[in-house]
Chain A
Amino acid sequence: MPETDSSPTSSQTNANSSSMKLFLDLLLMAVSAFYVMWAQRYKHGGAAFPSLIGFGVFFLATSTLIRDIITLKKSWRSQSSTRPPMKESLFDRTSHFKLIRIAGVLASVVLYILLLQIVGFYLAIIVAVTTSTAALSWRYRYICISIIVAILIAALFAYLFSFQSGISIPKGVL
């Protein structure tokens, strides 16, 4: 993995960060609205407190969304001539590197969760750490991603098999 990636321009970073902020604001609004609606089911078991919190979060998320839209609009106006297309800024080469690296760390967690069910505690640690380490090492990335995918598929099949047939797979089979 190269230690120095080509850094994106500040306008690209701002565009990415602003769109991520807007997305999170909207997500939070949706989650808090759902939370408040769901809280009404617990009328005899403590609905008031969650409703109050949910309303508060919804209100704050809405105000943050409005503020972020205004800020984004202002920055777009000021950079309208130089603003790069969104598609380029989201899928540039740097993002590609970053995604692979984050996927490498994510893989170690997912692998651990899956393997813990099938191959046991210690083997799960070893397999998760070694495969993800390899995934983060740039030179062998394609081989490592293939290994992770293969293990994931194998683990999934094994898990589904044990789940459907009711036969528990002995620890250490994989």
Chain B
Amino acid sequence: MITHILTAAVTPANLIALLLGSAVGLFLGVLPGLGGVFGLTIAIPLTAQLPTLEALGFLVAMYTAAVYGGAITAILFRIPGHPGNIATTFEGPALSRDGRAAEAIVSVGFAGVIGGLISLIIVLAAGPLIAEAGVHISPADYFMLTILALALVSSISGGRPVEGMTLAGIGFMMSTVGLNSISGTYRFTFGSSFLQGNGINLAVVAVGLFGLGSAFYMADTWQRPTEHRATLSIRRGLIPGLRAIKNHPIETIRSGIIGALVGVLPGVGISLSNILAYTVESRLKRNAGWGKGNIVGVMAPEAADNATLVTELVPAFALGIPGAAPSALMLYAIIQHGLQPGIQFFSNGVDGRAFFILMGLSLAVFTVLGMFLSGLFASAAATPLPILLPAIAVVCCIGSYAVSGSIGNVVVALLTGLLGYSLLKLDLPLAPVLLGVILGPLSESNYRRALLIQDATHHSPFLGPIPLTLGVVAIITFILPIMFKLRKAGGKVASSQSRATTRAN
């Protein structure tokens, strides 16, 4: 049976489809705001006439490669090509400045392969079971999960939890603009048809905050994101990149597992899993130089990303319930090619299993292709600033315009870009704002759904074992670092007082 599946998957035509899909995906990933979803919407009708596995191979390679392309620009320019590359911008630019861009690009590629393979093994072993478990998570569990994610804000706030929470609050405020999915009313739209139709889009905020914000900041400081062209050689980065993987296998595998678990939860997706993987690693090793170019800080998010990409397809393919836009599009694509979603997709269908084999192969194909092409992107980083900065600004504009074909998105990107610039200027982190935009709709909708359940059942869903455990973990996660900080500060004051007393004596 396995030989039969492998023979169906590994054909020259399928491999060419993977290669082409990866090339298109990398190109889309480099342009912020475009990404895999944009590519899928265009490519699904175009590939309708192709044989099933060739078409699905092309689509899946394009979607996964777009995330890797976004990681390259996140490392080199601090521009996440996709919301899944946000956490890569925390350490990537610092690594670039240290002349370790090539090492970061290589290690990110291989970490992504490991994360994706972990996820594939989990899916092929227990896909339907995982999908079933994911669907049974209640709104109260979800709400407490978002509170736990919010409690983790302090670890991406550069040691300033109050500022981090304030910035997350700004993100929450932004997320409430537009149509309220529960009540069906428009909020904070001020009569604008653009805001009523689009609200404030996550991808546009990411492009504005990180892309335009960085462009303004570079114009201010007049410093290139990468200083030396010589250090951008992928050949030179290959050995250090592989060594980084060898030195941090546990971190990579752990992030892959985190990503795989997050992918199962409908509606969460890679925009959260990469930040979660980064925060977990930064929590576990506090004094590892976070924010100053820690290689684990780029490997962990990308391992989680690729793992999520695989498992987020599971609820869609096993139960027919897509949790996010990409999985909905992929579900449409498999139905278009005559495959039926359901448990049998994982158990007795050759095409279903061959699809996941192709997904695994695509991880290797786009990593190798990405490493070759990243030399091209990397040399772009050494372009003189008067050419580079307007190019970044206009690419960001194109990306935000392409999200919904509206000029209003470019204006939103510009405003968030100015916010990003102010935050960078004040040495404040950008990620909490984005985390607020991601978590805002998730927490509000699930909180209100949980309240509706409470009204119907006269029983508080927040008192169940899962929400209570998550709540306690969230409180501990938020309070512990503050206590450590206070104790440290108290210790410093006590030691300075004792020194003063000794001197006086």
Any chain A CB within 8 A of the CB of B180? yes
Docked CA distance A17–B407 (Å): 33
Beyond A45-B180, A102-B219, whether A57 also contacts B444 by CB under 8 A is no
Beyond A46-B448, A101-B219, whether A1 also contacts B176 by CB under 8 A is no
Highest count of chain A CB atoms <10 Å: which of B183, B385, B386: B386
Q: Tell me whether A101 and B394 are in contact (CB under 8 A).
A: no
Pick the contact of A105: B389, B426, B440, B444 (CB < 8 A): B389
Any chain B CB within 8 A of the CB of A120? no
Q: Tell me whether A57 and B166 are in contact (CB under 8 A).
A: yes
8 A Cβ contacts from A32-67 to B: 32, 35, 38-39, 42, 44-46, 49-50, 53-54, 56-57, 60-61, 63-64
Any chain A CB within 8 A of the CB of B447? yes
Any chain B CB within 8 A of the CB of A113? yes
Beyond A5-B222, A50-B173, whether A125 also contacts B422 by CB under 8 A is no
Any chain B CB within 8 A of the CB of A89? no
Q: Tell me whether A133 and B390 are in contact (CB under 8 A).
A: yes
Beyond A20-B425, A113-B397, A125-B394, whether A60 also contacts B417 by CB under 8 A is no
Pick the contact of A108: B169, B390, B444 (CB < 8 A): B390
Shortest CB–CB separation between residue A130 and chain B, in angstroms?
Answer: 8
A15 cross-chain contacts in B, Cβ below 8 A = none
Any chain B CB within 8 A of the CB of A123? no
Any chain A CB within 8 A of the CB of B410? yes
Docked CA distance A17–B176 (Å): 30
Docked CA distance A171–B254 (Å): 54
A98 cross-chain contacts in B, Cβ below 8 A = 219-220
Which A residue's beta carbon lies closest to that of B386?
Answer: A136
Any chain A CB within 8 A of the CB of B411? yes
Shortest CB–CB separation between residue B77 and chain A, in angstroms?
Answer: 13
A3 cross-chain contacts in B, Cβ below 8 A = 222
Any chain A CB within 8 A of the CB of B188? yes
Q: Tell me whether A112 and B173 are in contact (CB under 8 A).
A: no
Q: Tell me whether B183 and A46 are in contact (CB under 8 A).
A: yes
Docked CA distance A44–B447 (Å): 16
Q: Tell me whether B173 and A104 are in contact (CB under 8 A).
A: no
Shortest CB–CB separation between residue A2 and chain B, in angstroms?
Answer: 9
8 A Cβ contacts from A75-112 to B: 98, 101-102, 104-106, 108-110, 112
Knowing that A57-B170, A101-B219 touch, tell me 13 more A-B residue pairs with CB under 8 angstroms. Answer: A28-B166, A28-B170, A42-B180, A42-B183, A44-B183, A45-B180, A46-B180, A53-B173, A57-B172, A60-B165, A60-B166, A108-B389, A112-B410
| B contact set with A: CB distance below 8 Å | 162-163, 165-166, 169-170, 172-173, 176, 180, 182-185, 187-188, 212, 215-216, 219-220, 222, 385-387, 389-391, 393-394, 396-398, 401, 407, 410-411, 413-414, 417, 421-422, 425-426, 440, 444, 447-448
Q: List 26 A-B contacts (CB under 8 A).
A: A20-B425, A31-B173, A32-B173, A42-B180, A44-B183, A45-B183, A46-B176, A46-B180, A49-B176, A49-B444, A49-B447, A50-B188, A54-B173, A57-B173, A98-B219, A105-B212, A106-B414, A109-B414, A112-B397, A113-B411, A116-B407, A125-B394, A128-B397, A129-B387, A129-B391, A132-B389
